[in-house]
Structure 1
Amino acid sequence: MKTRTVQRTQLVPHTINGKTQMVLDRYDVEVPVPPRDWDRTVLTAVTAAAGFIGVACIVWSTASIGDLLARATVAPAAYAAAGVFDLVWLSCMALEWLARYDAERAKFPRRAGYVALAIAMVAVGAHGWIADQAAIGFVGAAVSGLAKGMWTLVLRHHAKPLDRKTQQWVDAERAEVGGRLAMVAVRRELNRAENAVAAEQAAIGAASPESPEIARTPPEDEAETPDEEEEPAPSGPMTIADAVRTAISCGITSPDAVLRYVRRVADANAKESSVERYLRGLRKPA
C-alpha cells in the first residue's frame, strides 16, 4: 500500500527555568494514499473532450452559416447571426445540466436543444448545397449532430435523477422558498404604491387647506386622552426625525402614539429605540 508523509502539529509542555508552557510540536506521520479513481479520471477526460468538440463545432458552424448569410448582408452581421445557431442549443444543454437532478424540468431544455440543433444542421447543409458542394454540407451538418450527441451522453452520465418521493420533497421546498422570494418583490411593489397614494393625498391636502379632514377639530375627550391624540396628516415623504418633530409640534406626547405616527408616515420598520432617542433630544431644555 502506498503512503505519503504528512506533517502535523500538537501541543506539548515545554519547561524553562521551572515554568511550563504549552508549545506546538511538529511531527511527521505516514498516511495511506487512496487508489487512483480511474472512473473519475475517464469522466473528466471525456467531459474535456466534449468541451473541445463543442468549441470546434461552434467555429465550423459559424464559419459555414456566416458565409451563407454574408451573401445577403455585411460580413460582421452575418457571422454574428451565425453564432446564434450553435449558441442556442449549447445554452439549452447548459439549462439541462442545471436541471440534472430534476428529470421533469430537464425535458423542455433537451427538446428545445434538439430543435435548435436541427435548424443549425439545416443551415449548414444549405450552405453546402448553395455552394454546389452537397457532400461538404452534409459532413458539416454531421459535425453539429456529433457534438450534440456527445454532449447528450455526457450530460446523461452526470445526471442524478431523484426518486419520486424525494423529488416531491424538493419541489415543495423549492415552492416554499420561491414564494418567500416572490413576496419580496410584492412587498416592494405595495410599498411603492402606498407611498404614491400618500404623496397624492398629501398633495391634494396641501392644495385644499379647508378640507374637512384638515379643518376638523378634535372633541375635548379625545384631546384629554393621550392614547387617542389626533395625528396630523402626512405632508409628504418624511424622515424619522421629521415625523417625531411633527408629532411633538401637534401635541402628541405619548411615546407609543409617536411611534405609531412615525411608522405610518415615515418608516414602517422604525425601531422604538430610535424614536425614543429623537424624543429625548427634542425634550431636552435649550
Structure 2
Amino acid sequence: SVPLPGARINVYPITLTSNENGEDSAMLPSGYYSLRVLLSNYKMKYPIDLLVEDKDTLYIVVMEQATTYNLTVNVKNTKNENLSNAEVNLTDYGTLKTDSEGNCTFNGLLPGNIMGYVYFYNYIWRSIFMDLTSDSTINVNLIPERYTATFYVTSKGDPIINAEIIIEGLDTLHTGLNGYAQSTYIPFGNSIPYTVKVKDYYTHTGTFDIWDTDVLVTVNLTPLGIDDNYDDLQPTIYPNPTTDFITVSGINNFSITIFDLNGRVVYQNSNQNSKIDIGFLPKGMYIVKLNTSKGLSIHKVLKH
C-alpha cells in the first residue's frame, strides 16, 4: 500500500490532514464517531465508523482511485458579510467549518447528487442540493433569526395610548390601551436605535440589545410643560361606574379625550365644565385622558 498525504480526515467535530506517511492523530473521548476521508481522485473503499475506547487505536483506511470533484461553499448573511466558522455538512462527507472569508472546500466528492445543510448560530439553517458534474462553487445566504421586541410605554405609572415607536430601519408600531406594542420580526443585534413619540410628551430615544431571546423595553415618558407640582395632579372621576354623567374633580382648566377599547376617539372637549354627559355612549369600558397645564392623567371608566 502507498501512503496518501494531504487527505482530509473528518471526525466531527475534528478535521485532520494526513502527513507524508498518510497519518494523523487526535485525542478523542470514548464513543462512536463517523469517519470520512476526502482526497481528490480517491474515494474510501469501505465505510468506517470509529469506536473509541479507553486505549490508543490505529485505524487503516483504504482508498481507491475514482473520478472526484471539489466543491467550495461560500456562506454570507443578507448584508453580504462573510460568515466565518459556519458549519457546512454534506451527507456522506462530513462537516467542515468556513474560514475568515466564509469559505470551505470539500475535496474528493463523487459526481452525482450532493445534499447537505449550512448552520450558523442565530441564523436560519439552509439546505444544499446540487448535481455535481465538475469542480464547483455554491453561494449560500443565511437569514438572521428573528425575535420579538415588546415595548411598554408609561408616564408616572399610567400606560400611554397610541404612542408611535420607530425601530430604525426595521418597523413602526403603536401602543394599545395597555401601553404595550410588539414587533415580532427583529433580527439579532446590539444597540438597535428606537424613538418613541406621542402628542403632549417629550420624544424619547434609546437603544436595545436583542441576541438570542425576546426582550421587553420599558419606556417612561415625561409630559410637556412638567413642573414641580406634577405629583400634586390627582384628579378623580365619579361616579364610576356610571350610566350617564361623569364629574371631574381635583383639577381646573383641563381638556378631556375619551377612547373606546379599540383606541378610537369617541368624545373630545376642552370646555371648563367638570360635569360631562356620556349617556350617548354604548355600554362598556372607556379610557379617559385629562390634559392640563401641569400634565396628563389617564383613567378607566365603566359605562353601564
Same fold (TM over 0.5): no
TM-score (norm 1): 0.21
Q: Considering fraction of residues, name the structure with more helix.
A: 1
